[in-house]
Amino acid sequence: MPVDILVGTQWGDEGKGKLIDVLTGDVDMVVRFQGGNNAGHTVEIGSERYVLHLVPSGIFRPGVRCVIGNGLVVDPIALVEELEGIRARGIAADNLELSDRAQLIFIYHKRADALNEKGAVRKIGTTGRGIGPAYCDKMRRSGIRGCDLCKPEILSAKFRAEAARYNKIFAEAGAELIDIEKELALVLEAAAKLAPLVRNTAYTIAQAVKEGKKILCEGAQGGLLDVDHGTYPFVTSSNTISGGACTGAGIPPTAVRNVYGVIKAYTTRVGEGPFPTELFDADGELLRARGREFGATTGRPRRCGWFDAVASRYSCMLSGVNKLVVTKLDVLDEFDEIAVCTAYEIDGVRTTEFPAAVEDLEKVKPVYEMMPGWKTALDAVTSADQLPENARKYLARMAELIGADIEIISVGPRRDQTFKA
C-alpha cells in the first residue's frame, strides 16, 4: 500500500508545503487532490523561498512526478503564470500532469466570488480566487474541465455559453460584464500551453500504485475548513480531510497506508468564522509576529490563538491521522506560559465534541490548561533529545489530547529544521 496522505488539521497554513518538500526526499509522486489556487504553500530551500498555489510541492525534486488531480478547481491562466514564475527561477517544473477531469476556473468565477462576498449578510472572507463558484458549477454540471483544454473549439463554445450565462447574472446585479471574446483569447492562449500536460491521471496513479511506487497526496487548507465537517458556512468548498484524496485523485481507500496530520503548535485562521481560542491581546500579537502569520496567498494578517485540542482532535479523527507532524514549535519559544484548550464550555455545559452550529461555536468559552514555557530558542535544534524538558512535555500533552503519535517536529521554515520525534 504505497499511498500516504498529508493533510492540514486546523484552518490551513500549518506548514504542509514545507513538509511535502521534506518528505518527497524519498517519494516518487506528489498528488494534489482538492482546492485550487486559494492554497499558498511555502517551501524554503537554502536562501530561496517559493510559494506554490496549484503546483504540488514535490516540484523541486527532480524525478518526482507531480499530479494535479481531478478534485481541483484550476485557473488555467494562474497555473501558466505559476509555472512560468517557477521556471524563471531555474526550476525545470517539467514533471507535471493535469487531470482531464479537473474543473477549470475562469474570470466569471472570480467575479461571482467577489459579488457573493459583497452581497452576503456575513461574508466568508474568501481568497477571491473563484473557488466556491467553480465548485458550484461542478455540482450543477456546467463546469468546463481539463479535457476541454485540448479541444479549442469545444472549449470556446463552452466558455462562450457559460460566460453569457454569468453575464446575465452580472447584468441583473448591476455588476460589470465580462468581455467574452477578450477573455476567451486569454483562455485559449493558456489552454495551448497546458494541453500537453493533460492526462487521465487516475490511470497514472493506478499504474504507480501497481508498481509499488511511493505516492504522497498533498492536502490543501485544513480539516476545519472542510465543506462537510468544518465550521460551515465559514469553510472552503471542498473536502479537505484525507477522504478527499480518494475522490479527488481517484485513489481507492484500500491503497492508502498512512495519514500525516500537520498541526501548528498553536492555531491560526485567515478570513471570517468562529475561532474559539483566538487571542486579541499581546500574546496573539507575539504569535503573529514570531510566526510571521501573514497569508501566503492574499497577504492578509492571520488571526492567532492557542492550541485547540477539541478542534484538532476532531479533525485528526476525521482524517484518521496516525502520524502527527508538529510545526512552528519555535514560535512559542518566548512565552512564560502556554495555554492549551482541553474542552469547550457552551451555555455553561462542558463538552469535548466539536459542535456543528456556528452559533454554538461563537459562544464557546475555552477551558484552558496552563503549561510552563521553555524560554529557549529551538530554531537550531536538530534532534528530539535536544529539546528542553518543557517543550517535550508540551508535545507529549498535544499527542495525548489528540490521541495520535507525533512522528515529525519542525522548528523553522527550512528543510534542515525538521527532525523525527
For binding to ligand IMO (CB under 6 A), which residues are involved? Answer: 8, 11-13, 38-41, 124-127, 129, 131-132, 220-222, 225, 236-237, 270-271, 296
Closer residue to ligand GDP, CB minimum distance, 8 or 243: 8
Nearest distance from C-beta of residue 225 to Mg ion, angstroms: 11
b (16+ CB within 10 A) / e for 182-199:
ebbeebeebbeebbebbb
Of the listed 4, 41, 109, 229, which one is catalytic? Answer: 41
Of all residues in this chain, which one has the CB nearest to ligand IMO in the complex? 271
Confirm or reject binding of residue 13 to Mg ion (CB under 5 A).
Answer: yes
296 binds Mg ion (CB under 5 A): yes
Which position among 4, 13, 21, 75 bears the catalytic label?
13
139 vs 289, which CB is nearer to ligand GDP? 289
User: Is 43 a residue that touches Mg ion (CB under 5 A)?
Assistant: no
Question: What does 261 bind: ligand IMO, Mg ion, ligand GDP, none (CB cut-off 5 to 8 Å by kind)?
Answer: none
Rounded to 5, what percent of the chain is helix, strand, coil? Answer: 40, 25, 40
Compute CA 280 distance to the chain's CA centroid, rounded to the nearest angstrom.
25
36 part of the interface to Mg ion, by CB under 5 A: no
**DSSP for 126-187, written as a single string:** --SSSHHHHHHHHHHT---BGGGGG-HHHHHHHHHHHHHHHHHHHHHTTPPPP-HHHHHHHH
Please give the residue ranges that form the binding site for ligand GDP (CB under 6 A): 8, 12-18, 40-42, 44, 292, 296, 327-328, 330-331, 410-413
Is 41 in the active site?
yes
Q: Give me 107's grid cell.
A: 474570470
CA distance 33 to 16: 14
Give the list of residues 6+ apart from residue 361 with CB closer than 8 angstroms, or none: 231, 274, 276, 355
The length of the chain in residues reads 421
Specify the pairing of strand 349-351 against strand 337-346. antiparallel
CA distance 339 to 351: 18
Q: Which residue has the cell 478542534?
A: 311
Which entry of ligand GDP, ligand IMO, Mg ion, none binds 127, CB below 5 to 8 A by partner kind? ligand IMO
Is residue 109 annotated as a catalytic residue, yes or no?
no
Asked if residue 40 binds Mg ion (CB under 5 A), the reply is: yes
Q: Given the rule CB under 5 A, which of 32-40, 82-90, 351-359, 399-407 is the region that contacts Mg ion?
A: 32-40
Which partner from the list ligand GDP, ligand IMO, Mg ion, none does 75 bind, CB cut-off 5 to 8 Å by kind? none
In the complex, the residues that contact Mg ion under the rule CB under 5 A are 13, 40, 296
